[in-house]
Amino acid sequence: METNWGCPVCGTDNSIKAWSILSSVDQPALVERLASTGSIGSPCNPCGHIIDVDHPILVHRGDRWGSTVLAYSPASPAVAPIETAGEVAEGLAIILLSNLGITDPSHEAFIVMVPRLALRNLLIRDVRADVHTPPGQLRLPADIAGSYRSVLLRLRQRLGYE
């Protein structure tokens, strides 16, 4: 979706692409950029400052996570009420899975909800390796630990590990 966003440095309005769903299937370069830099912002036309839009985003890393684990970062509470974050995440997940051709109602997607600044820490994780690592041996950054451990526990239960 295109949106107008004011540059915090020079104040110029810029037309910027705001992504609601990013998948490594159709946007691998953007997902990799988000994982490596923590940003998918666009440069301001006049001054070049990178503008990141405060917008909810669902990220799918099919290359590392399959179609089961999704990362969701809500907008800040000043932009969207945090109470609706779960509903928004679930709605975006339905759209993403449909776009991936997954229409089986029994397919369960696990959504890890993290703040925007923690998204990079989550995107660099290898869920397939982490789910096989004993919980006591798994070292996680504090900003993703709670939500991610919860999803790993559910995945382990589904696989019969717990």
Domain that holds residue 52: 2-159
Is 46's pLDDT higher than 90? yes
pLDDT in tens, 127-159: 888 988 988 899 998 888 888 888 899 888 888
pLDDT band of residue 44 (cuts 50, 70, 90) is very high
pLDDT tens digits along 67-118:
678 999 987 766 666 677 888 899 999 999 999 888 887 788 889 888 888 8
Domain tally, the chain: 1
The DSSP call for residue 52 is: -
Largest CA distance in the chain: 56
**Average of per-residue pLDDT across 4-32:** 91
Q: Which long-range contacts (CB under 8 A, 24 or more apart) does 43-48 make?
A: 44/7, 44/9, 44/10, 44/12, 44/14, 45/12, 45/14, 46/7, 46/10, 46/12, 47/7, 47/9, 47/10, 47/12
Q: Identify whether the C-beta of residue 111 lies closer than 8 Å to the C-beta of residue 70.
A: yes
